[in-house]
Chain A
Amino acid sequence: MSAATGERMLGRLLHCNPAVATQELRRQMRGWRPFASVLAWTVLCTLAVLTGLAIYAINSPVRSATYGGMGSQEQDAGVLAFTILIATEMGVLLLLVPIQAAAAIAGEREKQTIEMLRATLLTARDVVTGKLVSSMAMAVLLVLIAIPVAMWCLTLGGVSRAVVFWSHTYLPAAAFWLATLGLVFSAWRPRSTDAIGWTLGAMLVIILGPPGFHLLANGMGMIYYGAASDTVLNAVLGALVAVGAAVTWGTLRLFRFLYSALGDMGWAQTRRRAAAVLGSIGTFTLFWLALVSYAFTAADETGLLLLATGNPVLGIAALLSTDFTEDILGSSWGTWTGRGGHGSAVDLRWLLWTVATGSTLFWGCINWLVATRVLARHREAMQ
C-alpha cells in the first residue's frame, strides 16, 4: 500500500484532513525508539505477571476471587497475575497518554509552529483529531501487545476469555478519554508544562475526587441512607448525568464571563485570569462532587449511573472486581431482570462493560468537542 493510499484511507476513516495524523504517526514511529518502547513494554508486562505469581507464592493461599464465575482456589495465581498486569497497563496509560496529549498542541505553540499550521487550510477539528490519533496510537499498540501476555494468565486459571476481552477493549476506550482530556488543556494553555499540570490536576479531581469525597463525607457523617427516597435520588442523579455535557461547556462559558466581569473591575490580567480559573474549576469540582455524593448515597440502586461518569479507574475496577460488581449492581440487576437477588456475575459484567465503555467513550467525545471548540475560539490567543 502506497503512502498516498494510506493517507487517503486515514482521511476517510477520520472524516477530516489526515495531514496532522499522517505527519505525527510518521514522526512517532521513526527510528529505534518505538521498537525499544515495544520491547521495554513486553518486558514490563511479563514482569507484571511474574510479580503476581511471586506474590501468590509468598502469600498463598489467599482469598478466592475468580473471574467469569468459574474457577477454584488454585486459580488465584492467574487472577492475581492478571490483576497486576491490568493495573500496570492502566497505570502506564494514565501517565503516558494524558502527558503526550497535553504536550501535543501546546508544544506546537512553544515551538512556534502553530502559526504556520493555522495559516493553512487545516481546521481546529483536523488538528485536534490528528493529535488525538497520535496520542492514542502508541497506547493502542501497547494494549494490543499486552494481549498475548494476558493470554498467558488464561493458562494459569481463574481468568476467563471474556474478562480478557472486556478489559482489553475497555483500555483503548480509557486511552481515548485520557487523550481527549489532555487535548482540552493542550488547546487552551500556552505552554506544554502548563497544559500537563492542568491535565494531571483535572485527572486527580475526576478520578480521585469521587472516592475521596465519599470517604470524607462518610467520615463527617454527612451521608446517611434513607434521608431521601431512592426514586428522588435516582431522578436527581439521572438529571445531573444528563446535563453533565452541558456543564463542561458551561465551565468554559463561566470562565469567559468571570474573566470579562473581573476585567470590568479593573483587575490586573494575571489576577483576573487566576480568579476566573479558580472560580470555574471550583464550580466544576463542586458539581462533580455533588454528582458523585448522590451516586454513593444510593450505591445499590445507582451504580450504573456512577459508572456513567466515565471515570476510567472506576471502570476498570468494576470490570475486574467481583465484589465491586455485586455491590454496585446486585440488587438493581435483580430488580430489573425480575430474577430477584443477584444476577450472574458474567451477565452483570457484560452490562458493566457496556455502560463503562459507552460512558468513557461518551465523555471522551465531549472532551474532543470541547478541545476543538477551544482551539477554534482561541485562535488569536494561540500565538
Chain B
Amino acid sequence: MIRLSVSDLESLRYWRANEDADLASLIQRLMHLEPPTPVMKAGRAFAKLMENAPQGELTEMPIDGWVFRFELDAELSLPAVRELKAEVLFETPSGPVTLVGKVDGLHGISVHDQKLTERFDAERYLDSLQWRAYLSMFGAREFVYDVFVGRYDGRVVTINDYHRLPFYAYPEMRADVQKAVDDLAAVYMEHVIPAAERTTEAGAA
C-alpha cells in the first residue's frame, strides 16, 4: 500500500509547472528529505497559533520562537473543529494508494486552510490540487483559504492584510483528483521507491 499526502500531490504539480526543476529535486521533496526553511517554520508556528487561537482580539502573539503582530482591522470566524486528519483510499494503476491530509479547520461542509504569505496572489491558489483533494476527501462543498499577508523582520512577522479566498466543489473534481493520485503513484513507484532503496542500501554498507 502506497501512502501519499495531499502535499505530495502539490509537490508534483509544482514540479511540472516549473521547467527549471530537475527530477532529483522532486524525488528529494517526495522523500521529505528537504530541511524546512525559515518561512516554512514560520508557517508552522502560525498554524499552531491559529489552531489554539481563543475568541477575542489578537494583537501580538509569541509562539515557538516567532512573534506574530496583527496590524490590521479584520474579523475572522474560526471553525470549532481544527486540525483534522483524513485518509481516503484510491485504486490506481500502480496499486492502492492511501491519500492522507490534514485540514486547518472544518465547519460543516466548509474546509478552512490558513496561509501565511508575503504577497497575495490569488491565481497561485487557483490551480492547486490541495483544495480539490480536501473537498473530495471531506465530501465538502466549499474550501476557504484564509490568506494572511505579512512581512518578516527577523523572527517577527507583522501581518497587515487578510484575504478570504473561497473555492467550490465542481462536477468532475473527484476525477481530477483521481488523475493526480494516479500520476503521483506512478512517479512514486518508478522513482521514489528505488531512490529510497538505494539510500537504505548505502546506509547499510
Q: Is B a genuine binding partner of A? A: no
Interface positions of B (Cβ within 8 A of A): none
Interface positions of A (Cβ within 8 A of B): none
